[in-house]
C-alpha cells in the first residue's frame, strides 16, 4: 500500500477492495445525498483565528468523557456490520480504540457479540441501542452490556423508519462477484454471509416507530448506566433531552442516511450546545475527516467527536492497523492545529478561535491617535 497522507485516501482503497454492494452501503446517503456532501462542505465555511507568540512546546490532548479520561476527544461511532469491511470487524476496531486510549461505541447491529468485543481486552466502550418493538430484547441487550463492562448506553433516536438510501435499493438483490483482491476463502465466506445479513436488515426493519421520550424514562428504570441520545439536531429536542435526564447529547444526522436536506452536524452543533446550557456534554458525529474539523467542533462547544466512515474505510483497507493509523493521523492533525492556533490544552480551545460565514461582522477596537 502506498503512503497514506490523510484520512480521505482510505476511502478509495476501500472502494477498490470491497464488493460494490458493501461499499455503497457504507458510503452512500439518503436520496439526493445533499446532506452527505454538506456534512463535509460545512466545515470548509469555518475559518481559524489563530493566536500567536504562545508557548506550545507542550500540548495536552487528554479530556474526560462521562467521567472517563481518554487520550483525545476523538472517539469511534457505532457502525453496523463491520465484518463486511474486514473479517476482524469489531474485534480489530475495539483493539485499535483501546490502543489509542479512546472510546469505541459498539453498534447493536454489529457482526460480533457484546461479549466477544469485551473479550478483546480492556477498553472504555459504549453500547449503541436501537429499541425494538419487543422491549425485552432491548432490556436484555442493556443487561448484557452492563455485565460485559460497557460504560454507557447510546440511544439512537432518529430512526423511527429507515431513510431512503437509493444505492441500497438498487443493490438490494445483487451481491456482485467478489473482487480478486480477496484471496482468503475465509474472507469470501464472511463477505457472503454479511451480504445476507445486509439483506435481512432491509427486509426486516427492527426499529420501533412508536419510540418516544417516555421510552427514555423507561430505559432509565432498567439501567444505572448513563444514557446519551444520538440524533439530536435542534434546540427544542436538546432542551427536551435535558429535561428527560439524559447524560449526554450526540448531534448526528445518522451519517446523512436518514432525512436528506437536514443541516450538517457542524451547522446544527452550536444551536444544540446553547440549548443544553452546559447541563450535559454535547458531542458531534458526522463529517469529521481532519484534525482541523475536530478543532472546529470543539471551538463550537462540542466535548468531543465521533468518527464512523473513516473507521470503516481504514478497516477495509488495512484491518486493525488501518484503524490505528486513522486515529493517530487525526490525533496528530489536531495537535498541529492546536499548536498553530496557540492552544496547549483542549480547555483552551474557544469560540474566539474560529469565525464562520454566519457570524456577524466583528467590530475592530478603536485606536487612539
Question: What are the residue numbers of the active site?
Answer: 254
Q: Annotation-wise, does 23 bind a ligand?
A: no
Query: Is residue 146 classed exposed, middle or buried when 0-12, 13-18 and 19+ CB atoms within 10 A define those classes?
Result: middle
Q: What are phi and psi of 33, to 5 degrees?
A: 60, 30
Look at residues 218, 256, 313 and name the one whose alpha carbon lies nearest to residue 41. 256
Q: What is the 8-class DSSP label of residue 331?
A: H
Contact 273, 298 (CB under 8 A): no
79 labelled ligand-binding: yes
The answer on whether 156 is annotated among ligand-binding residues is: yes
Provide the 3-class DSSP secondary structure of residue 82.
helix
245 in a known ligand binding site: no
Q: Is 5 annotated as a binding residue?
A: no
Q: Is 80 annotated as a binding residue?
A: yes
**Cβ contacts of 351 within 8 Å, gap of 6 or more:** 299, 300, 301
Residue 254 marked as a ligand binder? yes
- The annotation status of 261 as a binding-site residue, yes or no, is no
287 assigned ligand-binding residue: yes
- 296 contacts 273 by C-beta, under 8 angstroms: no
Burial of 263 per CB tally in 10 Å (0-12, 13-18, 19+): middle
User: Per the annotation, does 308 bind a ligand?
Assistant: yes
Euclidean distance between the first and the last CA atom of the chain, given in angstroms as a whole number: 62
Strands 227-232 and 152-156: parallel
Please indicate if the annotation marks 165 as binding a ligand: yes
**Is 25 flagged in the annotation as binding?**
yes
Cβ-contact 320, 92 below 8 angstroms: yes
Was 230 annotated as part of a binding site? yes
Q: Which residues are annotated as a binding site?
A: 25, 78-80, 107, 128, 130, 156, 165, 230, 252, 254, 257, 285-289, 308-309
Which residues make up each annotated binding site for glyoxylate? 25, 165, 254, 257
Q: Which residues are annotated as a binding site for FMN?
A: 78-80, 107, 128, 130, 156, 230, 252, 285-289, 308-309
Amino acid at each position: 500500500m502506498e503512503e497514506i497522507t490523510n484520512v480521505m485516501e482510505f476511502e478509495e482503497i476501500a472502494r477498490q477492495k470491497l464488493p460494490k454492494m458493501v461499499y455503497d452501503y457504507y458510503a452512500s446517503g439518503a436520496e439526493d445525498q445533499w446532506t452527505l456532501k454538506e456534512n463535509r462542505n460545512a466545515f470548509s465555511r469555518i475559518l481559524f483565528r489563530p493566536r500567536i507568540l504562545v508557548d506550545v512546546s507542550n500540548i495536552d490532548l487528554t479530556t474526560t468523557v462521562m467521567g472517563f479520561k481518554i487520550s483525545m476527544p476523538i472517539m469511534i461511532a457505532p457502525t453496523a456490520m463491520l465484518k463486511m469491511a474486514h473479517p476482524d470487524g469489531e474485534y480489530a476496531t475495539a483493539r485499535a480504540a483501546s490502543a489509542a486510549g479512546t472510546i469505541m461505541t459498539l453498534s447493536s447491529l454489529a457482526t460480533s457479540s457484546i461479549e466477544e468485543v469485551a473479550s478483546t481486552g480492556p477498553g472504555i466502550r459504549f453500547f449503541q441501542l436501537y429499541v425494538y418493538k419487543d422491549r425485552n430484547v432491548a432490556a436484555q441487550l442493556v443487561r448484557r452490556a452492563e455485565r460485559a463492562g460497557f460504560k454507557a448506553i447510546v440511544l439512537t433516536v432518529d430512526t423511527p423508519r429507515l431513510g431512503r438510501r437509493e444505492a441500497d435499493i438498487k443493490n438490494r438483490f445483487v451481491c456482485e462477484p467478489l473482487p480478486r483482491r480477496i484471496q482468503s476463502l475465509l474472507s469470501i465466506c464472511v463477505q457472503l454471509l454479511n451480504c445476507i445479513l445486509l439483506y435481512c436488515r432491509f427486509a426486516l426493519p427492527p426499529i420501533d416507530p412508536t419510540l418516544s421520550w417516555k421510552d427514555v424514562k423507561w430505559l432509565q428504570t432498567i439501567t444505572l448506566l448513563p444514557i446519551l441520545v444520538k440524533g439530536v439536531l435542534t434546540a427544542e429536542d436538546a432542551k427536551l433531552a435535558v429535561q428527560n435526564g439524559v447524560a449526554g447529547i450526540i448531534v448526528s444526522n445518522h451519517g446523512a442516511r436518514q432525512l436528506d436536506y437536514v443541516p450538517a452536524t457542524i451547522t446544527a452543533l452550536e444551536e444544540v450546545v446553547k440549548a443544553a446550557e452546559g447541563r450535559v456534554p454535547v458531542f458531534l458525529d458526522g463529517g469529521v475527516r481532519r484534525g482541523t474539523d475536530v478543532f472546529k467542533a470543539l471551538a463550537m462547544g462540542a466535548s468531543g467527536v465521533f468518527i464512523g466512515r473513516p473507521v470503516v474505510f481504514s478497516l477495509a483497507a488495512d484491518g486493525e492497523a488501518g484503524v490505528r493509523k486513522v486515529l493517530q493521523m487525526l490525533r496528530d492533525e489536531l495537535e498541529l492545529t492546536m499548536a498553530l492556533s496557540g492552544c496547549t490544552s483542549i480547555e483552551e480551545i474557544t469560540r474566539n478561535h474560529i469565525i464562520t460565514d454566519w457570524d456577524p461582522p466583528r467590530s475592530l477596537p478603536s485606536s487612539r491617535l
